[in-house]
Structure 1
Amino acid sequence: MSITIIFKIAAVGILVSVLCQLLKQYGRDEQASLAGLAGLLLVLWWIVPYIAQLFRTIENLFQI
């Protein structure tokens, strides 16, 4: 796992928060919610392989 994934997640978080604030100021609450959901799904798409690898490692650790 490299540190670039952490920077990517931070960048997405910053962009989504700014976008949500702008959309809420203009009265677009539904689009702000969808933008937050899209950011969450994007980050989950990046994280799921690492979580799967973690579970495989833990499973191999406890196998007899």
Structure 2
Amino acid sequence: MDVDLIFKIAAIGILVAVLNQLLVRSGREEQAMMTTLAGLVTVLMILVQEIHNLFELIRTLFGF
């Protein structure tokens, strides 16, 4: 596992948290929820891609 992946996820989390707080304090709770969901989907897509790469590595390692 690469450290860059952890930094990417942390940066997305910090960005989403800041945007969420700004939107909630300005009275836009719906947009804050959508921002949080977009950040969650983005992180999940990154993780699914990394899991796919892991399975491809295992497949080539064992010759399936």
TM range (shorter): 0.7 to 0.9
Q: Which amino acid aligns with 1:28?
A: R
Find the counterpart in structure 1 of residue 62 from structure 2.
Answer: none
Partner of 2:34: 34
Q: Say what the alpha-carbon RMSD is for the aligned residues.
A: 2.3
Higher RCO by CA contacts (8 Å cutoff, separation 6 or greater): 1
Stretches of 4+ aligned residues off by more than 2 angstroms: 49-54
AA aligned to 1:15 is L
Identity of matched residues, %: 52
2:23 aligned residue: 23
Is the partner of 2:27 in helix, strand or coil?
Answer: coil
TM-score, with structure 2 as normaliser: 0.78
Alpha-carbon shift at residue 51 of structure 1 (Å): 3.0
Equivalent residues, number? 61
> Distance in 1 between the 2:49 and 2:20 partners?
27
Structure 1: state its 5+ residue gaps. Answer: 58-64
Give 1:44-59 correspondences, 5 Å limit: 44-52=44-52, 53=54, 57=58
What 5-or-longer segments of structure 2 have no aligned partner? 59-64
